[in-house]
Structure 1
């Protein structure tokens, strides 16, 4: 494992810690898209099916369990916790996220590395993760005024994917015959989606202002 992969994993983990901190400490999920969280739960559930069939390392297994457990617990809190669910902004979180699932699955059926059950679901998770943040960004665009924890959460998610791009570049330069064009393409698309948010986040951070997105 290289430094970029490790930094990406830790940044991803930090994004989840920030979100759980908001939910558990403040008892609020205001500004958080349940639609995006449900998509991430599907992403991890379909990506980590090999958890039951292949052992790579203790680190790999622990990280998979953390991402699976945290994603489903976040969805549960937003849907069923009697205090947290009252803060959910259902009025603005109206993106039809289920419309993203079917195209990603169909794409995985036709464009994959190998046509097997686990492989297709793994590729599906890559495609879905690339656009899972869209409902969250749409929600922030509608509410415009973003609190610090929510802004940090989304920024860390984007930073994690950016670090993974550096990881792929590093592996391509140092490992012979390393090519994963589907993974690379999905990662580039995902990082590009964050571009507008990154601009306003860094601008607000530089000016020590509260993050506000344009209408």
Structure 2
């Protein structure tokens, strides 16, 4: 007698067989349902942004556990960690000079742990670092982000340098995970701790994106005008959406692997 499939596995199998258009439609519906759920259970939308930073910090903690327990940094992108440290340092500077609050403390903790991960990868665990797989040229993202921030930045009353730095960290954060995705694309096999870390980044990005979208809806668009004029408000929201969609494909295969009981995530060709 044929075993009955678990409901989640049956749904996943059905979704996998659908054409791309149906999958895209289902993804949009799922995102809308998630936003409605967050709108109902989270009354202060700022808590979503705090939650995003907390999940990011949790992801870094997973990396620390991996480095300390397994004594290897295989599968991790040093360049992605360096980009993360870069945008966190700039954002921390902006936070100190523009709006010192709880985000400053969270960013300080995340930056400190990220720097520790970089130190471990560069020195203590250098022999296990997959230098040949981590071949993403970071100047391809740093230079465009810098140039974009020079022309499109907030129109607040702060000093022009601070406004440019603010824009730069927003743009750089949106693409900081690309080197990590390139490593996973090159290896095709992602071990558990690295997969947990990247999934945590995906959740953090979704919460941050949800924070902005719900804020815009709650204020009926007034939030965008409060951020300034010109292209800057639109690019802030676009950056959040880009971050989410960059990781969406990976998160889908992560959940699929988790439901299937697989400890090691195997990515098909073309993913990330």
TM-score by length of 1: 0.91
- The equivalent residue for 2:122 is 79
Distance 2:153 2:96 in 1: 22
Question: Is the aligned partner of 1:169 residue 2:222?
Answer: no
Question: Is the aligned partner of 1:154 residue 2:198?
Answer: yes
Question: Is the aligned partner of 1:113 residue 2:151?
Answer: no
Mark the CA change 1:104 to 1:55 in structure 2 (over 3 Å): closer, same or farther.
closer
- The equivalent residue for 1:181 is 234
Whether contact under 8 Å (2:96, 2:104) holds in the other structure is no
Distance 1:181 1:119 in 2: 16
Given candidates 109, 134, 147, the residue that maps to 1:66 is 109
SS in 1 for 2:204: helix
For residues 168-201 of structure 1, the C-alpha deviation after alignment (integer angstroms, 9 at most, x for no partner) is 1222233462113222111111111112212211
SS in 2 for 1:31: coil
**Structure with more contact order per residue of length (Cα contacts < 8 Å, sep ≥ 6):** 1
Structure 1 gaps, min length 5:
none
How far does residue 51 in structure 1 lie from its aligned partner after superposition? Answer: 4.5
Whether contact under 8 Å (1:32, 1:88) holds in the other structure is yes
- The equivalent residue for 2:131 is 90
Distance 1:30 1:126 in 2: 28
- The equivalent residue for 1:21 is 65
Mark the CA change 1:55 to 1:178 in structure 2 (over 3 Å): closer, same or farther.
closer
- The equivalent residue for 1:199 is 252
- The equivalent residue for 2:187 is 143
Structure 2 gaps, min length 5:
1-43, 225-232
How far does residue 16 in structure 1 lie from its aligned partner after superposition? Answer: 1.0
Distance 1:163 1:55 in 2: 21
Mark the CA change 1:23 to 1:212 in structure 2 (over 3 Å): closer, same or farther.
same
How far does residue 19 in structure 1 lie from its aligned partner after superposition? Answer: 1.0
Distance 2:68 2:203 in 1: 23
TM-score by length of 2: 0.73
Distance 1:130 1:61 in 2: 19
Mark the CA change 1:113 to 1:130 in structure 2 (over 3 Å): closer, same or farther.
same
Greater shift, 189-198 or 32-41, is seen at 189-198
For residues 1-29 of structure 1, the C-alpha deviation after alignment (integer angstroms, 9 at most, x for no partner) is 53422322221121111111111222221
Distance 1:99 1:46 in 2: 19
Distance 2:97 2:82 in 1: 25
Query: RMSD between aligned alpha carbons?
Result: 1.7
Distance 1:61 1:128 in 2: 18
Greater shift, 48-57 or 205-214, is seen at 48-57
Distance 1:168 1:15 in 2: 22
